[in-house]
């Protein structure tokens, strides 16, 4: 015999039946027409019994149908990239405010910022040198143009610099140096510059003016480098600079 306390699908529930269901601790779901315990229904303050008329499983199924297929979880790399893009978009919109806030902090914390800079440079010397070297290689033409413009606008200072370097070369040239071989280095550098379109320099492997030692201006101490490589090397000794 069918249980008459449980209404058939589509059949309304009378007040008497509701009272019986509440006394038994059960409730009918208006979506699936199933009678389930109170624990299977979400709470709702707007209802007389304090429970939502739709059970939890039907509510979850409805939400899944509205939200579409489940999303694939992001990998750690994708999460990092998403945060990077979000930060980039935020900086693009708030760049001036962000920079002003940074400048204000640096003005108010000069000693702390200075200590941080010194510590960072000490801990990231190789990284800083690599970044500087890559930047100089990528901007070789720009650096050369700035140098040419400086030489035009400061002829006296530039001439003094050139004469001082020439004097150092003369003092650093030993009597036994082969001047023809030295000349060949400069001829070859000029040929490479004209042939490739990339500026080439004649570099002293051991600089004529270094911190703790000085090299000689002789054929054994010369090499040909691109302008960018030579500018990145500066006056460093071979042991201090790694390509």
Q: What is the pLDDT of residues 79-112, one digit of tens each?
A: 999 999 999 999 999 999 999 999 999 999 999 9
| Position 177 in a domain | yes
Q: What is the pLDDT of residues 157-214, one digit of tens each?
A: 888 888 888 888 888 888 998 989 999 999 999 999 899 888 889 998 888 887 777 8
Using an 8 Å Cβ cutoff, are 140 and 227 in contact? yes
> CA-CA distance, 222 to 203, in Å (whole number)?
6
| Position 9 in a domain | no
| Position 132 in a domain | no
Please report the pLDDT score of residue 12 as a whole number: 59
CB 102: neighbour CB atoms within 10 A? Answer: 11
Does position 126 have pLDDT exceeding 70, yes or no? Answer: yes
> CA-CA distance, 205 to 227, in Å (whole number)?
14
Helices (H), the chain: 15-24, 56-67, 76-108, 110-123, 125-138, 140-153, 155-172, 179-196, 227-233
Using an 8 Å Cβ cutoff, are 155 and 243 in contact? no
Structure tokens, 57: 């499983």
| Position 182 in a domain | yes
Same structural domain, 185 and 207: yes
Same structural domain, 194 and 222: yes
Same structural domain, 162 and 231: yes
Using an 8 Å Cβ cutoff, are 210 and 235 in contact? yes
pTM check: above 0.75:
no
Same structural domain, 98 and 177: no
Same structural domain, 116 and 157: no
Q: At what angle do helices 140-153 and 125-138 cross, to 10 degrees?
A: 80
Q: What is the pLDDT of residues 31-50, one digit of tens each?
A: 888 888 888 898 888 888 88
| Position 134 in a domain | no
Please report the pLDDT score of residue 162 as a whole number: 83
How sure is the predictor about 5, in pLDDT bands with cuts at 50, 70 and 90?
very low
Same structural domain, 172 and 209: yes
Please report the pLDDT score of residue 133 as a whole number: 80
Strand partners, 202: 224
Same structural domain, 145 and 232: yes
How sure is the predictor about 242, in pLDDT bands with cuts at 50, 70 and 90?
low
216: nearest Cα among 160, 161, 174, 162: 174
Q: What is the pLDDT of residues 225-239, one digit of tens each?
A: 888 788 777 778 777
Tell me what percent of the residues of the chain surpass a pLDDT of 90.
Answer: 29
| Position 130 in a domain | no
**Structural domain containing residue 105:** 81-123
Same structural domain, 118 and 161: no
Work out how many domains the chain is built from and give that number.
3
The CATH number assigned to the domain holding 27 equals 3.30.60.130
| Position 153 in a domain | yes
> CA-CA distance, 61 to 68, in Å (whole number)?
11
Q: At what angle do helices 110-123 and 76-108 cross, to 10 degrees?
A: 140
| Position 202 in a domain | yes
């Amino acid at each position: 015999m069918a249980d008459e306390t449980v209404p058939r699908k589509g059949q309304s529930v009378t007040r008497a039946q509701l009272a019986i269901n509440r006394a038994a601790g059960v409730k009918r779901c208006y979506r699936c027409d199933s009678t389930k315990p109170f624990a299977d229904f979400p709470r709702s303050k707007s209802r007389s019994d304090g429970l939502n008329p739709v059970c939890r499983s039907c509510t979850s199924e409805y939400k899944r149908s509205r939200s579409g297929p489940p999303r694939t979880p992001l990998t750690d790399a994708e999460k990092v990239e998403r945060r990077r893009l979000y930060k980039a978009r935020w900086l693009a919109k708030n760049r001036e405010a962000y920079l002003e806030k940074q400048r204000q902090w640096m003005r108010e914390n000069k000693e702390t910022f200075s200590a941080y800079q010194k510590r960072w440079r000490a801990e990231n010397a190789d990284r800083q040198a690599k970044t500087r070297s890559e930047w100089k290689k990528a901007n070789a033409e720009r650096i050369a143009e700035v140098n040419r413009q400086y030489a035009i606008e400061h002829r006296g200072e530039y001439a003094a610099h050139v004469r001082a370097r020439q004097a150092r070369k003369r003092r650093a040239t030993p009597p036994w140096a082969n001047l023809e071989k030295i000349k060949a280095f400069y001829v070859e550098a000029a040929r490479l510059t004209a042939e490739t379109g990339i500026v080439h320099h004649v570099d002293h492997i051991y600089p004529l003016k270094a911190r703790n030692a000085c090299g000689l201006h002789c054929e054994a101490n010369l090499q040909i480098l691109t302008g960018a490589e030579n500018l990145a090397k500066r006056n460093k000794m071979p042991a201090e600079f790694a390509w």
